[in-house]
Amino acid sequence: MSLYKQWHKIKSFTQFVITRFLADECKQNAASLTYTTLFAVVPMLTVLFSILAAIPSLKSISTDIQNFIFNNFIPDTGVKVQSYLHEFATQASNLTIVGVFMLFVTAVMMLITIEKAFNQIWRVKQPKQSIVGFLRYWAVLSLGPFLLGAAFTISSYITSLRIFADAEQLVGMVFSGLRLLPFLFTGLAFSLLYITVPNCRVPVKAGFGAGFMAATLFEVAKNGFTFFVGNFSSYELIYGAFAAFPLFLLWVYLSWMIILLGVEVCRALAFYKDVNKESRHPLLELLAVLQLFYQRQIEGKTVSELDVMEVLGKREVETWTQLLDILLNQNFVQKTESGHYVLIRNLAAVDFWQFYSTLPWPLPQAQDFSRVYEDDTWASVLLPRLYAIQDYAQEQLTLPLADIFTVDKRSLAVNSL
């Protein structure tokens, strides 16, 4: 592939992601998630520290984990916020069982809000079943701190190898790699978030690709945000002692923007195809998709969104969403556990006219027939009939408009008898 084609493909992919990011109202969703974060950040930290405190071997490194989170996920300007949040979380740890339960519920509600935002981007209308969703939320809240603690235990063990002289060279190499731990942890966290949260099948490669892309943007944004705050301190003259809070709010909003952009990239990586097919009449698109489902039904195979994009083209993501709603509502297709789709009706028993009468579009016109492709085998049967319908309609409706409004009242009376 030539350099020009590679650049064109990257440019086209970037334009596609940005267009979807704006169309899905990700900026508004980021603002909503920022508001939710203000209420859920203390419960989340409380649950984190409580789980760490419940594990004796990890209790001693809870402070290190806390410092790691604030040093690598919040810019240097969040020192004051860190002290306040730590104080709030410490006080919250003294709550009763009912209070702890409410904190856990608040933390779960935060995860539910995140899931809704992700499902909206993935065009998923149904959340996961309550039991499955609860178990997943519980796994995130319980296993997350444990994995962080295990990672810190391993890094602490590697650090202790400095006491051995023969391991000095090995430790030096390991320490060079440890500098990448914050980036690796961030990329891994984003990747798991993109793969496990949406209520659909997310390809692992797409999840990890988007996760580490988001981690890269996160590091760039963090350094840029720190530079901006350090060199433009006029905000302190306005807010004074409260300057840390609007900055923290701005950083949370920027973080959610990056996370949601990563979701868009993940979805684009999952089924984006650089196929430049012109947009055409929705009925023609629907017939092309139904032809794909019919062929796969004969072969005993499923249909993925990537297969549909190869038929429709990269510009028809929204069209596919509309077509899918029609096919699901009329029980033509069904979603499998793997996230693919199968045709569940016998098309030999479906009348075309009855099927068309349920659709929200008019019949295509002659100018629409020019956008029929060679692989549209249905066109050889349907197009002659559509041409005949158009010719008949033209013959019947070719009359002056004055004839429509000039009607003999006596003839109307006779026709009404």
- Give the mean pLDDT of the chain: 76
Q: In terms of domains, do 192 and 247 share one? A: yes
- Give the count of domains, the chain: 2
State how beta strands 333-335 and 341-343 pair.
antiparallel
Q: Are 264 and 358 part of one and the same domain?
A: no
Domain extent at residue 118: 3-271
Instruction: Judge whether 134 lies within some domain.
Output: yes
Contact 63, 158 (CB under 8 A): no
What is the model's pLDDT at position 164?
A: 47
Please list, in sequence order, all residues whose beta carbon lies within 8 angstroms of the beta carbon of residue 333, skipping any fewer than 6 positions away. Answer: 293, 303, 324, 327, 341, 342, 343, 344
| 88 plus 235 within the same structural domain | yes
Supply the pLDDT for residue 167: 47
219-278 pLDDT per residue, tens: 898 888 878 777 766 666 666 666 667 777 888 899 899 999 999 999 888 877 655 556
Q: Is the pLDDT of residue 362 over 80?
A: yes
Q: Are residues 238 and 357 in the same domain?
A: no
CA 61 to chain centre: 34
Render pLDDT for 20-74 as a digit per residue (tens, 0 to 9).
898 888 999 999 888 888 777 666 666 666 666 656 655 555 666 666 566 655 6
CA neighbor of 34 nearest in space, from 258, 256, 259: 256
Name the β-bridge partners of 303. 341
Residues 286 and 330: their CA atoms lie apart, in Å, by 13
Question: Does residue 385 have a pLDDT over 50?
Answer: yes
Most confident of 111-115, 188-192, 208-212: 208-212
Give the residue among 121, 107, 37, 109 at the shortest CA–CA distance from 74. 37
Burial of 352-372, coded b for 16+ CB within 10 Å and e otherwise, reads eeeeeeeeeeeebeeeebeeb
- Other beta carbons within 10 angstroms of residue 175's beta carbon come to 14
User: What sign does the dihedral 219-222-225-229 (CA atoms) show?
Assistant: negative
Tell me: do 72 and 206 sit in the same domain: yes
CATH number for the domain spanning 374: value is 1.10.10
For residue 338, the surrounding DSSP H or E stretch is none
Which whole number is the average pLDDT over 187-212?
87
Q: Are residues 101 and 245 in the same domain?
A: yes
| Sequential DSSP letters for 140-176 | HHHHHHHHHHHHHHHHHHHHHGGG-GGGHHHHHHHHH
Res. 339 pLDDT band, cuts 50 70 90: confident
Q: Is 214 within a domain?
A: yes
**Measured distance CA(82)–CA(236) in Å, rounded:** 18
299/407 Cα distance (integer angstroms): 59
Compute the distance between CA of residue 355 and CA of residue 243 in angstroms, rounded to an integer.
Answer: 62
Contact 55, 149 (CB under 8 A): yes
First-to-last C-alpha distance (Å) of the chain: 75
Min mean pLDDT across 20-34, 81-95, 305-319, 354-368 is at: 81-95
